[in-house]
Chains A and B, each alone.
Chain A
Amino acid sequence: MPLAEETQGAAAAPPAVVDQATAKAYWKRTSSLMWTVLLIWFLSGFVIHIFAPSLNAIHILGFPLGFYFAAQGSLIVFVVGLYWFARRQNQIDEEFRVQEDA
């Protein structure tokens, strides 16, 4: 486990583990995943609820749909989205061989 506390003095700083180009490409992929998830967050956290008054006209199992999205729908998107994000990011790590040593 390479922890910071093992580092003592600037001279002992570990060298970079990947070359500049890989680091850059890796960060580009990571960033684009970040923006994707951020977009999902924004859509399900805010945008969909703007339409709540009109969605409420639709009832499913008694639920007014606008109410349902704020009470459950968006939450399900958040939870599933996070598991998906963790999996996707782990795949990216492995693809660029920057995952932690087991």
Chain B
Amino acid sequence: MSASTSGGKDPFIANLNKIYAGYTGGFLGFVVLLGILEQLGVPDRIIGYFFVFLTIGVYAYIGIISRTAQVAEYYVAGRRVPAVYNGMATGSDWMSAASFIGMAGSLYALGYGGLAFILGWTGGYMLVAILLAPYLRKFGQYTVPDFLGARFGGNFARSIGVIVLVTASFVYVVAQIVGVGIITQRFLDVSFGVAVFAGLGGILVCSMLGGMRAVTWTQVAQYIILIIAYLIPAILMSVKVTGVPVPQLMYGFALERIEGLEAAFRAAGQSPPPGVTGFHSAPFVGPNGQFSMSAAVNFFALVFCLMVGTAALPHILMRYFTTPSVREARNSVAWSLFFIFLLYFTAPAYAAFGKLEIYQNFINQPIASLPEWVKNWQIMSPYGVPWINIVDANNDGILQWSEFRIHPDVVVLATPEIAGMPYVIAGMVAAGGLAAALSTADGLLLALANALSHDVYYKMINPNAPTKQRLIIARVLLIGVALFAAWTAGNAGADILFLVAWAFSIAAAGLFAALVMGVWYKRTTNTAACLGMLVGYVATFGYLMWSEFGGLSFLQVFGTKEAILRAAQAAAALPQASAELKASAAAIVANAATLQDGAMAWFGKALTGLGMSTDHVVLRGRIVARLWGINNISGGIFGVPLAFLTIYVVSQFTKAPSQAMQDFVESIRIPKGGVRLADARAAVKE
């Protein structure tokens, strides 16, 4: 693979299977070799270094040999990526630090409630396949805003698309860099700030020279490492607990034993640690194990937002621009989901085996006899508490259920050690987590930088820019965005991780309706689409910001007087609350007798009869308001229907799209033939 290959027979494409099979074998051999070295007494730290540096070295190598000077190669990998490989690339593009490191941890903590992530992050691909991917592929330019611009009359629609894309992708990429920091910090023994910038080097070297082409082939390599690194420890745990190496089939028995242990702990008068459910496999329950309407509503709302968000995230949609044909694009979505499925249907097994190990071997044991690995993880996390926090609350020297506090983000990374596996497995898992975080960060950075270089610079500012200049601008912007993201990650640390979930709601509310209606409803007008995107984006983003950072003032508008009073009491007692918030909360409490319902309280209590009342929760040291009891992580549940409604209604009252535009829509619906652009200026030149 060299910079000069273009079109026709590419020896690299022709030999893909051979190359990646060799690569997989090489990686497995490398793991075995390190395992032998470990047995020979090489220290753990050196093993960790080997894993981190060698894998990053391989990605860098692929990144460098895939360098390119052609625009189509840089933006869409020359549209020569076969369906299966695009599926793998999409899989690792998709599975981020949150999936690899975080998901089994969430399942560990939330039990059934955590399955919302499993469902939401897979089901969305059905929407991608049937509603969007084939049509965007037929349209066939470079970015998602390209489609919005061509379909909805130019730069105004394009700019709204860019704004939504940048908002959603930026918070997402910052979280990936935090993920890279967490892993490098632990396995290279450096400070979090240094770790973040070390990770950044790994990210940039993959994407800078070769754009989409380099990112595609690195992502395939990263997928192979991350899936091996995830499956092997799960298989080993399954063998250890049940004797059968099929964790996905066998963890039912672990679930049964967890339920038994939970019941035994409860019978002994113990309670679970904060944030962990005491009823692992029970759906929709509150802390007392009883059915909770709020838990059920939030479960489904989250599933919905994650699914629709999946189908609207530009770094995923743009992967389907790289397949050779519409037909391949459709197949590719199926392959993507298959490769993602391999990890996602293992995650609940991972969580169950890990939980069983901890419950069985450590709870109700003397704290003094805890094994060595616990100390390795008692280092400080960026959240301000140690990753594994042993709190002997009653000073009896025995580890009770509520006294073993493990942060969800390290469940996957620490499980190999918890289960007593050799250190080489822990190192491999770290390499897998790194691959997941790096691959997603690459895809996101590319989506961000491409939106700025292609959509803003080339399409809006300087349409006559020569190829060479476009590619230079693209690379400069890529580095700029990456540095800014790393700087944000280093400063804000883990405090912003919760924003990742927002990215889904923001993308869902801002882009999904306009993209779907643009293809499926010919009468969608430019005004309607632009308004729809704005309404969805502003309503969702506004709701998220207001409910998160101004929970009390939100309730003063939408809450009943009882809800306002409760929130004010909580705010006054909150240690992290600012002086102004405390003062205004205290004033409300002091004047409780004259307190009135908020101006929109009738709206906030519209669904009270269904068990959904507007209230607050104390989260992340803030009073967070919940309209109708829905957590703001699922804020898109309001914005998505609003965007569809706006687009439909406004389309009825505005002038129907021109015949040329209808012909354009017709031409992207049919795989055969060319695309008939309504405005020739929307075409991109190579």
User: How many angstroms from the CA of A4 to the CA of B667 in the assembled complex?
Assistant: 11
With contacts A16-B663, A60-B252, A99-B672 taken as known, whether A78 is within 8 angstroms of B112 at the C-beta atoms is no
With contacts A14-B676, A63-B255, A78-B125 taken as known, whether A99 is within 8 angstroms of B327 at the C-beta atoms is yes
Asked if B670 and A26 sit within 8 Å, CB to CB, the answer is: yes
With contacts A78-B122, A100-B325 taken as known, whether A71 is within 8 angstroms of B115 at the C-beta atoms is yes
Asked if B255 and A67 sit within 8 Å, CB to CB, the answer is: yes
Interface membership of chain B positions 245-279, coded 1 if the CB is closer than 8 angstroms to chain A and 0 otherwise: 00011111111100000000000000000000000
With contacts A41-B123, A45-B123, A99-B672 taken as known, whether A4 is within 8 angstroms of B327 at the C-beta atoms is no
Interface membership of chain B positions 289-308, coded 1 if the CB is closer than 8 angstroms to chain A and 0 otherwise: 00100000001100110010
User: How many angstroms from the CA of A100 to the CA of B283 in the assembled complex?
Assistant: 47
B330: interface (CB < 8 Å): yes
Q: Which residues of A contact B676 (CB under 8 A)?
A: 7, 13-14, 16
Asked if B674 and A13 sit within 8 Å, CB to CB, the answer is: yes
User: How many angstroms from the CA of A74 to the CA of B654 in the assembled complex?
Assistant: 41
User: How many angstroms from the CA of A56 to the CA of B330 in the assembled complex?
Assistant: 35
Interface membership of chain B positions 503-535, coded 1 if the CB is closer than 8 angstroms to chain A and 0 otherwise: 000000000000000001000000000000000
Interface membership of chain B positions 101-130, coded 1 if the CB is closer than 8 angstroms to chain A and 0 otherwise: 000000000001001001100110111011
Pick the residue among B303, B334, B683 that contacts A8 (CB under 8 A). Answer: B683
User: How many angstroms from the CA of A76 to the CA of B249 in the assembled complex?
Assistant: 13
Pick the residue among A17, A27, A71, A83 that contacts B118 (CB under 8 A). Answer: A71
Q: How far is the CB of A9 from chain B (nearest CB, A)?
A: 5
Pick the residue among B281, B673, B683, B686 that contacts A16 (CB under 8 A). Answer: B673
Pick the residue among A53, A81, A85 that contacts B291 (CB under 8 A). Answer: A53
Q: Which residues of B contact A76 (CB under 8 A)?
A: 341, 345
B331: interface (CB < 8 Å): yes
Pick the residue among B131, B281, B303, B671 that contacts A100 (CB under 8 A). Answer: B671
Interface membership of chain A positions 1-35, coded 1 if the CB is closer than 8 angstroms to chain B and 0 otherwise: 11111111110111011100001001100110110
Asked if B670 and A78 sit within 8 Å, CB to CB, the answer is: no
Do most interface residues of chain B lie in helix, strand or loop, or is the interface mixed?
helix
Asked if B327 and A100 sit within 8 Å, CB to CB, the answer is: yes
User: How many angstroms from the CA of A75 to the CA of B337 in the assembled complex?
Assistant: 9
User: What total of chain B residues lie within 8 Å of the partner, measured CB to CB?
Assistant: 73
With contacts A5-B141, A7-B680, A62-B255 taken as known, whether A34 is within 8 angstroms of B283 at the C-beta atoms is no
With contacts A34-B130, A75-B344, A78-B126 taken as known, whether A49 is within 8 angstroms of B252 at the C-beta atoms is no
Query: For residue A38, which residue of chain B has the nearest CB?
Result: B130
User: How many angstroms from the CA of A62 to the CA of B353 in the assembled complex?
Assistant: 13
Pick the residue among A27, A62, A66, A86 that contacts B129 (CB under 8 A). Answer: A86
Pick the residue among B122, B256, B300, B307 that contacts A59 (CB under 8 A). Answer: B256
Pick the residue among A2, A13, A52, A62 that contacts B283 (CB under 8 A). Answer: A52
Asked if A17 and B334 sit within 8 Å, CB to CB, the answer is: no
Query: For residue B257, which residue of chain A has the nearest CB?
Result: A62
B324: interface (CB < 8 Å): yes
B326: interface (CB < 8 Å): yes
Interface membership of chain A positions 64-78, coded 1 if the CB is closer than 8 angstroms to chain B and 0 otherwise: 101110111011101
Query: For residue B334, which residue of chain A has the nearest CB?
Result: A82
Asked if A49 and B300 sit within 8 Å, CB to CB, the answer is: yes
Asked if B255 and A93 sit within 8 Å, CB to CB, the answer is: no
Pick the residue among A26, A61, A89 that contacts B252 (CB under 8 A). Answer: A61
Q: Which residues of A contact B123 (CB under 8 A)?
A: 41, 44-45, 74, 78
Asked if B683 and A7 sit within 8 Å, CB to CB, the answer is: yes
Asked if B669 and A4 sit within 8 Å, CB to CB, the answer is: no
Q: How far is the CB of A29 from chain B (nearest CB, A)?
A: 12
Most chain B CB inside 10 Å of its own CB: which residue of A1, A71, A72, A76 = A71
Most chain A CB inside 10 Å of its own CB: which residue of B79, B123, B248, B685 = B123
Query: For residue B80, which residue of chain A has the nearest CB?
Result: A1
B495: interface (CB < 8 Å): no
User: How many angstroms from the CA of A72 to the CA of B346 in the assembled complex?
Assistant: 9
Asked if A34 and B131 sit within 8 Å, CB to CB, the answer is: yes
User: How many angstroms from the CA of A33 to the CA of B115 in the assembled complex?
Assistant: 28
With contacts A56-B282, A71-B348, A82-B337 taken as known, whether A4 is within 8 angstroms of B326 at the C-beta atoms is no
B140: interface (CB < 8 Å): yes
Q: Which residues of A contact B131 (CB under 8 A)?
A: 34
Most chain A CB inside 10 Å of its own CB: which residue of B307, B324, B520, B667 = B667
User: How many angstroms from the CA of A63 to the CA of B663 in the assembled complex?
Assistant: 53
List of 9 A-B pairs having minimum Cβ-Cβ separation, nearest first: A62-B252, A17-B673, A14-B674, A63-B252, A82-B334, A52-B283, A2-B674, A70-B115, A62-B253
Interface residues of B (CB under 8 A from A): 72, 79, 112, 115, 118-119, 122-123, 125-127, 129-131, 134, 139-141, 150, 248-256, 281-284, 291, 299-300, 303-304, 307, 324-327, 330-331, 333-334, 337-338, 341, 344-345, 348, 520, 660, 663, 666-667, 669-677, 679-680, 682-686
Interface residues of A (CB under 8 A from B): 1-10, 12-14, 16-18, 23, 26-27, 30-31, 33-34, 37-38, 40-41, 44-46, 49, 52-53, 56, 59-64, 66-68, 70-72, 74-76, 78-79, 81-83, 85-86, 89-90, 93, 97-101
Give 12 A-B contacts (CB < 8 Å), ordered by A residue. A5-B140, A7-B675, A16-B663, A38-B126, A53-B282, A61-B252, A75-B118, A76-B341, A79-B341, A85-B330, A89-B330, A97-B672
